[in-house]
A and B are shown apart, each in its own frame.
Chain A
Amino acid sequence: MARQAREDTRGALQQSAGWRLWLSGGWLGLIAMAALMAPWIAPQDPLAQDLFLGRLPPVWLAGSEPGHWLGTDSLGRDVLSRILHGARIALIVALVAGTLTCVIGAVLGLLAGFLRGWVDVAISRLIDIWMAFPPVLFSILLIAVLGPGLFSIILAIVVIDWTRFARVVRAEAMAQGAMDYVASAQVAGRGRLSTMATEILPNVLPTIVVLLTLEMGIAVIVEAILSFVNLSISTDDPTWGGMIAEGRTSVHQAWWVLVFPLITLFLTVLAFSQLGEGLKDRYDPVLR
């Protein structure tokens, strides 16, 4: 009976994981399409200001103008077009910062977990020290010194978040390193680094992929937070965080300037994390 119950929950888990994967993958696909085709599908120029058309409501409300589907902000810039163009910056940050963080953190984690010894002591100590500092403060500090810009944001994310990968990958590599198949590879005369690349890495890869998905969601949020405190790209460029910051100040006069970018950001962050969780449920060897 207990076994039956376990199989039932496993079935339910896989089913819900399937739903989550489809829904979150679908939304992220939409965002990716928007980012790729923004110049062609955006109804307006995202930078075009028209003070006579400022704070127009969305089309289904009274007083709207045709062509401005989701209304305009206080400078008369089209909200929908800015969201579509903002998807570009969000995705660039997610992909570039996520990948770089992943590579650096995973390599350090693998080295620490598999080589052990003084390498492990040095890297672990570094991780401890790094994690003692509040990440949001650290990023604000870094950007304040580096100066705002796309490159600074990506650098800040990489500098701060590599520990997320290093910590988990180190533990996984340690567990894998104690297994017999690793010992047998060593006995067969493989070098340490080649064992690490061909034996350990493939077995840690599922964990790394899940972490990468989660990290991309985090990168999107960090970009939004930094834009919110005016430390992102220039204020003209359409970013979701910048739009939200603008919307927050005029929320009593024009709620749509805050609501639509907020919904987009909310769903995107949720989709990244659910994609990660879904992948974990599907490929985690403990659950399978």
Chain B
Amino acid sequence: MQLFRAVLLRLATTAVTLSGVALIVFVVIRVVPGNPIAMMLPPGATDADIARLTAQYGLDKAIPEQFFIWASGVLHGDFGVSITARQPVLDLVLGRLPATLELSIMALVIACVLGGAAALTGTRGRGTGAEAAIDIANGVALSIPDFLWGLVLVLLFGVLMPVFHISGRVTPSLDLPFVTNFYLFESVARLRFDLWADIVSHMFLPALALAIPLAAIIGQLLKQSLKETMHLDYVTLARTKGYGENHVILREALRNAVLPTLTLVGVQFTFLIGGTVIIERLFSYEGPGEHGD
């Protein structure tokens, strides 16, 4: 019952926050100078043309009324039609979501592996040069955003040592028998491991670029929690029982230390999905092989 109430409360706050976000974005976009109609028409358009199109899109109404029209549409499941793409907005977003989700999940997996390995190695070699090296690597990984890591990876593994693809989602000449947009999952489900390898080879660098700063955050937090846990009595007890250092870290300390990291991973994943845009653009991830390399 208590859990039920907590979930209900959380849902209510989320609804308030979402409405706030919608309202602010709407107002900001409509209040700042700049006119979507002017962008749609060629430079020589007359004032009458502009006025006609403005009325057609309802942009001459008061801003509160515009917001009300948009919001009531959204509540009925109608998100409107994109002005530039001339397709329903919901279809556009949902069509691209699978690609973004697959990329984010892969990035998260890589980040957990890298960050976990860094934290465990740092804990195993605490007080030695290994720990210092891992701390420095963490610091650098954290201060450089994914956009720059992406460019560095393009240079290193796309140009200098061309082992991975740096553009597109699959090789365009390959024939895809897929019905969904989840290429990675569907290639496994259909046991087409040749396609799977090609898709992974396209996804690896963008996913790694997204993963590097995230791995640093995970590594830092997990290492800190491990450090605190290693001083607890039950860990000392395990040690006096004669267990080796690896057993103590992996089997005893890690189980408690991993909890805060799990919470962090959940929160970071939502940021990850929101932050893939630039990386997708950098690797031309949308639309297979735009640049043909």
Chain A positions within 8 Å of B, measured between CB atoms, are 125, 128-130, 132-134, 136-138, 140-142, 144-147, 159, 217, 221, 224-225, 228-229, 244, 248-249, 251-252, 255, 258-259, 262, 265-266, 269-270, 273-274, 277
Q: Size band of the B side of the interface?
A: 20 to 34
Whether the Cβ atoms of B275 and A134 lie closer than 8 Å is: yes
A274 — which chain B residues lie within 8 A by C-beta? Answer: 139, 143
Whether the Cβ atoms of A147 and B275 lie closer than 8 Å is: no
Q: Which residue of B lies closest to A261 (CB)?
A: B151
Chain B positions within 8 Å of A, measured between CB atoms, are 17-18, 20-21, 24-25, 28-29, 32-34, 139-140, 142-145, 147-148, 151-152, 154-155, 158-159, 271, 274-275, 277-278, 281-282, 291, 293
Tell me if B's interface is mostly helix, strand, loop or mixed.
helix
Q: A145-B29, A145-B32 are in contact. Are A269 and B274 (CB under 8 A)?
A: no
For the complex of A and B, 9 pairs with smallest distance between CB atoms: A134-B274, A273-B143, A129-B20, A145-B34, A132-B21, A145-B32, A262-B151, A225-B147, A146-B32
Number of A-B contacts (CB under 8 A): 91
Whether the Cβ atoms of B29 and A147 lie closer than 8 Å is: no
A241 to chain B, nearest CB (A): 9
B139 — which chain A residues lie within 8 A by C-beta? Answer: 274, 277
Whether the Cβ atoms of A142 and B28 lie closer than 8 Å is: yes
Considering the chains assembled together, what is the distance between the CA atoms of A229 and B284 in angstroms? 12
Considering the chains assembled together, what is the distance between the CA atoms of A144 and B139 in angstroms? 33
Q: Which residue of B lies closest to A249 (CB)?
A: B291
Told that A125-B20, A132-B18, A133-B274 touch, could you supply 6 new A-B pairs with CB distance under 8 A?
A: A133-B25, A134-B277, A136-B275, A266-B144, A270-B144, A273-B142
Q: A145-B32, A262-B152 are in contact. Are A137 and B277 (CB under 8 A)?
A: yes
B274 — which chain A residues lie within 8 A by C-beta? Answer: 133-134, 136-137
Whether the Cβ atoms of B32 and A228 lie closer than 8 Å is: no
Considering the chains assembled together, what is the distance between the CA atoms of A266 and B275 in angstroms? 19
Whether the Cβ atoms of B277 and A140 lie closer than 8 Å is: yes
B213 to chain A, nearest CB (A): 11
Q: Which residue of B lies closest to A138 (CB)?
A: B25
A277 — which chain B residues lie within 8 A by C-beta? Answer: 139, 143
B135 to chain A, nearest CB (A): 9
